[in-house]
Structure 1
């Protein structure tokens, strides 16, 4: 008899114990009091949703975009499939006449960074924002056609957030009108550069500009690093992949070192700064902060992206919590077919306390992300006219908000994973790899703790200007406004006498503004009057950045609900009511977590803290019936979620077993290591048993 080992393991065709998941979700959706599709249209716009629908149809049917094997792949397989995806996206975009938004939606739905991601997210935006017209033709036009593939090489082995400490040099050679790139130390190796390891043939290299013997600090250069004929590294370049990471293993993060590598004068990105050909004379930019525009753009997009991270995590956790049953609530037993059934975990207050504020945070980040992009565009227009008045506040806010929102998102992803219990530990939940791949957001584009210092420096400078009467009032500068209000009444107290008083938007905004201003004033006092060093104050410095940015997010949420014309329409009254509940829950939940600061500031009393906590629980009760509809309104298709637990149809257990069947280990009945590692022990034991039986038989005969 021949044994066939290549037989996959299959589950028997059984149904899960009832009630079915789809029945639970249908019941939850029936509780919602607002138009889910209407809220989706408010979030994304009808045009974007239609585009997503058309793009989704193609993504679900194209083999190169198939996610079926994502959770089973090796790193080598991840890179290979990612490159196939990148290639096919370009081809489909041409075949379907996709515009830039269509391509963005396709990459969003695929939901996995790839070797070309930095080409789109950093290389092209930098070329758009920092090149001359001549350089646009030479580099940007070719990049847009994918004739060259680029990355953004800033971080080094020895320096990340401290950009001014970068070691790579670019020395101008007047005799040949070239720059010489050089890596003088091991720590000057560019490191962590997405797309550099294997895919990119060009890189934006941040290097210290040295001309006429003077060091002008880091400047950007567009550098060819590999041959366009055979993709081999060019002479003078050492380049490769940094190896496996905690996550993000579908991207070829790389390293590069330069050995007196010559590049032409045109490689220096010269929209703002310039080096005169022949003389090497350095011409500084008209405003030293012009380069902040790119950083603000990238960080604003990261803030906007935190919304999707929160939306994905909460959609999975909320839907699963509505289906997963654990224990019987004897005080309020559930019944189905006249039988008592276990209680969905979403009915437990503790589960609501863990998850519902995260749903509110997703909506809060949506409003702030949208406002950040509006202010970015407003600032770009102003700077073109020579007006830089908005830049400092926008740059400081984008830094702090990037830090705050990505921290909120990564914490929420892990909280949602834990809220899914044991199944949350499975990759099939859609949360494990997601957590790993999102995690770099708290480090790249500025470490989250370092960024808070940038925000704090601005806040302290603004406070000093307010005290000195030098601060300029602006409709966009809310920092000056809440600092001025604090200085006018530094002994302000919260007027709340009942728990419902905390639902007053004006009270909430006053509380957040006062707490931030009080904290800023105390830090300024300790540094300016008491002589405390910056380093000794870093913990408090981080706190004032957080307080300021929490004020911004809360304000954006509340003010948008007050002023948005679309929400004021009669047909959207139910939607507005639910969003106001979310805004209150988001704000009061933060206040509860940060109670010590509101108490220390003197704005709240211990008695008011108890009222605030009571109101948070009451808000959970009000939001609970709406929450499945609220995550449905994120309009995240199953293809995007790629989660057994977060399926729209609720077929959680069917999906878990189907995905387990696809596990490569289950495609053979006997594991490969059986003969070498298991059988010898089993055979030895079996032989021992047989020998013992023989001895017993022999003994019985006598």
Structure 2
């Protein structure tokens, strides 16, 4: 590490305030790291990959907070292309551990996330063997860049309402695609604004005058020769966003765009030359790529961002000192204040709950996907859809709030982009809406839950129309879905903890975090437990007392627990949450790199100089 600005000759390599936190942890940190990674062998592979990434100058994140949006985009494209070249050179496979860990280290700063994470998987899942053989090698080698054009200006989560049409013409043997009105313009697809030359377009399929619902079509939108927009296509960038400036989210209009019949993804449904429609399997299968994407969002985006925020905030909180707990003593570490513990330590426990749940969800997702691909059996898909929808909602909602708690817990320095926390917040908060708005996701999970179902049935029997009855019960349904998902999370956490009976030291720390997560969930929803008669006021007092005891226990190991996520300083890219704990030195050093500190202040010359010079004669 480069030396920082002050006390360079005499300063120890690690700030004593954070070094003392790592003395004599009550558990072996390396074993907890292995647990989170899924085994010691996976830890070794991950670290080897991260070492290769960290030693490669192209992947350097230095000064990224000072780049313009265009510079961020160009840097992200450069890194994505370089990673593909490196992958081929080293013999890494797309579905291998090495690529998984490379993406873990780089995801937030890579272009082509939709291309790699949605475009390619959609073709793989919904395409025939011939379509996969044609398109996937081109896509994996970046000879084509694709996007996934589903969301429209007027429709997002309600896929049945999509207005884009694909009409089969028996004379030309083409599908003719149209976005017939303003509300049907495709809006938000990543990689579309500047990068993509192809798109998987979700459209309502029409043949022989009949609509067969939503289907996926591969559409070329830009020339492969000069990247110019093709006839009938209007495409561009949607403009500034809350964040994600390295992602070129775009819009797409299609006006009588012809594509060949073989460009409809046809593993489960086909259109013959005379326009006959042949369906193979359930309509639900067309939604598999969205479910897979939802699962990846949880495990690859939401959980890592949340856990990084916890690492940064906890480390900062043992270095930052403020006020005195006892007169005559030095200022206290802010994590020694119970209020700070109550802010941060339940977030840390929640990050662990989400990590273990995402691993279980990925395993279930793989099981369902194998059943569909090998046996054509989609019987478990509705359960996966409901579970992934509810968990996507609760993890993104809770993580967004949790990252914000972490940011605020770092005071003014948490507001600085250099802390890394604002970027993590905007990264995770976006997931509350993309790939399914959270309330809609909750309602997908909640269909016909008992109490809401009784009310729904009562309304229907009284003559209320079904859509009115559903809307009238939607608040209860959404709450029921959240409660159900919280139960699933606690249950999975307990099962994980119980599976560690041969690792008592690790089991002890996981039990502390599991208990803290479960009890915090009860306290956060105390009104519901009281209202439904599950607990009394005295029992809630006991829960509060237990939570406070757990905070004290977790506090002793807090830094060591965050170290178990094993994020490198380069991955965290923070000035206040580095392993060595030198917060103030790094903030000052990084601030010196701001381009504005080296540039002429034109505003001074244009608007202020004359005013200041007038004051010179009066002072």
In the alignment, what sits opposite 2:31? 38
SS in structure 2 at match of 1:428: helix
CA RMSD of aligned residues (A): 2.2
Query: Is residue 308 of structure 2 the alignment partner of residue 299 of structure 1?
Result: no
Deviation at 1:95? 2.4
Cα deviation, residue 651, structure 1: 1.1
Q: Provide the residue aligned with 2:529 in structure 1.
A: 598
Deviation at 1:399, TM superposition (A): 0.6
Could you tell me which residue of structure 2 aligns to residue 25 of structure 1?
A: 18
**Aligned with residue 253 of structure 1, among 249, 266, 269:** 249
SS at match of 2:284: coil
Q: Distance in 2 between matches of 1:160 and 1:229?
A: 33
Q: Deviation digits for residues 315-356 of structure 1, max 9, x if unmatched?
A: 0000000110001101xx7xxxxx831100001111111111
Q: Structure 1: any 5+ residue segments left out of the alignment?
A: 1-10, 334-338, 464-518, 691-702
**Which residue does 1:639 correspond to in 2?**
570
Structure 2 residue 219 is the aligned partner of structure 1 residue 286: no
Deviation at 1:573, TM superposition (A): 0.8
- Pairing 1:405–2:341 present: no
Alignment match of 1:70 (pick from 40, 51, 64)? 64
Deviation at 1:626, TM superposition (A): 1.3
- Residues 324 and 331 of structure 2 are in contact (CA less than 8 Å); yes or no, is this contact kept in structure 1? yes
Distance in 2 between residues matched to 1:139 and 1:632, nearest whole Å = 42
Q: Note if contact 1:212-1:281 (Cα within 8 Å) is conserved in structure 2.
A: yes
Query: What's the counterpart of residue 537 of structure 1?
Result: 473
TM-score, with structure 2 as normaliser = 0.94
Shift of residue 583, structure 1, vs aligned partner: 0.5
Q: How far, CA to CA, are the matches of 2:81 and 2:367 in structure 1?
A: 35
Q: Please say if residues 89 and 103 of structure 1, whose CA atoms lie closer than 8 Å, have aligned partners that are also in contact.
A: no
Alignment of 1:451-600 (within 5 A): 451-457=441-447, 459-460=448-449, 463=450, 519-520=451-452, 523-524=455-456, 527=459, 533-562=469-498, 564=499, 567-569=500-502, 572-600=503-531
Aligned-partner SS, 2:217: strand
Shift of residue 108, structure 1, vs aligned partner: 2.2
Give the superposition deviation at 1:526.
5.5
**SS of 1:193's equivalent?**
coil
For 2:110 and 2:305, locate their aligned partners in 1 and report how far apart those are by CA, in whole Å.
17
TM-aligned CA deviation for residue 50 of structure 1? 2.1
> Structure 2: how far apart are the matches of 1:522 and 1:71?
53
Q: Contact between 1:169 and 1:183, CA under 8 Å: does it hold in 2?
A: yes
Corresponding residue of 1:343: 332
Alignment pair present for 1:418 and 2:408: yes
Distance 1:60 1:114, change over 3 A: closer
Asked if structure 1 preserves the Cα contact closer than 8 Å seen for 2:5 and 2:585, the reply is: no
* Kept in 2: contact 1:201–1:226 (CA 8 A): yes
- Aligned-residue offset at 1:17: 13
2:589 matches 1:658: yes
| Alpha-carbon distance in structure 2 between the residues aligned to 1:58 and 1:267 | 39
User: TM-score when scaled to structure 1?
Assistant: 0.83
Against the structure 1 CA distance between its residues 18 and 140, is the aligned structure 2 distance closer, same or farther, given a 3 Å change threshold?
closer
Q: Provide the C-alpha distance between the structure 1 equivalents of 2:208 and 2:603, rounded to a whole number of angstroms.
A: 65
- Report Cα offsets for 1:181-233 as digits up to 9, x if no partner: 11111121111110000111111000111111111222100111111111111
| Deviation, structure 1 residue 521 | 6.0
Q: Distance in 1 between matches of 2:453 and 2:470?
A: 15
Contact 1:31 1:626 in 2 (8 A): no
| SS of the residue 2:154 aligns to | coil
Matched residue SS, 1:216: strand
Q: Do the aligned partners of residues 664 and 402 (structure 1) sit closer, same or farther apart at CA in structure 2, a change above 3 Å counting?
A: same
For 1:238 and 1:637, locate their aligned partners in 2 and report how far apart those are by CA, in whole Å: 43
1:44-443 → structure 2 map (5 Å cutoff):
44=37, 45-100=39-94, 101-276=97-272, 278-305=273-300, 306-330=302-326, 340-383=329-372, 384-443=374-433
Please state how far the C-alpha of 1:145 moved relative to its aligned partner: 2.1
- Distance apart, 1:525 and its partner CA: 6.0
Question: Partners in 1 of 2:110 and 2:518 — Cα distance?
Answer: 36
What SS does the aligned partner of 1:616 have?
A: helix
Contact 2:6 2:585 in 1 (8 A): no
Contact 1:310-1:361 at 8 Å conserved across structures: no
The whole-number CA distance in structure 1 between the counterparts of 2:76 and 2:353 is 32
Deviation per residue, 1:60-90 (Å, 9 max, x gap) = 2323211112101111111111111111111
> Aligned in 2, Cα 1:22/1:14: closer, same or farther, shift over 3 Å?
closer
Using the alignment, how far apart are the partners of 1:267 and 1:99 within structure 2? 26
Q: Which moved more, 1:413-422 or 1:530-539?
A: 530-539
Residue of structure 2 in register with 1:678 after alignment? 608
**Aligned in 2, Cα 1:644/1:412: closer, same or farther, shift over 3 Å?**
same
Preserved CA contact (<8 Å) 1:21 1:323: no
- The SS at the match of 2:473 is helix
Structure 1 residues 275 and 120, CA gap change in structure 2 (3 angstroms): same
Q: 1:20: how far off?
A: 9.3
- From 549, 570, 578, the equivalent of 1:618 is 549
User: In the superposition, relative to structure 1, how do residues 597 and 366 fare at CA in structure 2: closer, same or farther (>3 Å)?
Assistant: same
How many matched pairs? Answer: 608
Per-residue displacement from partner, 1:215-263 (whole Å, max 9, x unpaired)? Answer: 1222100111111111111111111100110011110001111110100
- Segment drifting more, 130-139 vs 86-95: 86-95
1:398 & 1:12 partners in 2: Cα distance? 47
Local SS of the residue matching 2:188? strand
Which residue does 2:438 correspond to in 1? 448
Distance 1:177 1:113 in 2: 42
- CA–CA distance in structure 1, aligned partners of residues 120 and 286 of structure 2: 15
Distance (whole Å) between structure 2 residues aligned to residue 526 and residue 429 of structure 1: 53
Conservation of the 8 A alpha-carbon contact between 1:115 and 1:194: no
Q: 1:42 offset after TM fit, Å?
A: 1.1
Contact 2:84 2:141 survives alignment (8 Å)? no
Deviation (angstroms), 1:12: 6.9
Q: 1:179 to 1:389 in 2, by over 3 A?
A: closer
Does the CA-based 8 Å contact 1:59-1:106 persist in structure 2? yes
Matched residue SS, 1:269: coil
SS in 2 for 1:340: coil
When structure 1 is superposed on structure 2, of 578-587 and 136-145 the one drifting more is: 136-145
Can you list the C-alpha shifts for 1:288-315, whole angstroms capped at 9, x where unaligned? 2223432332222222233212210100
Shift of 1:455: 0.7
Q: 1:377 to 1:674 in 2, by over 3 A?
A: same
Asked if structure 2 preserves the Cα contact closer than 8 Å seen for 1:300 and 1:372, the reply is yes
**Deviation (angstroms), 1:54:** 2.3
Distance 1:584 1:523, change over 3 A: farther
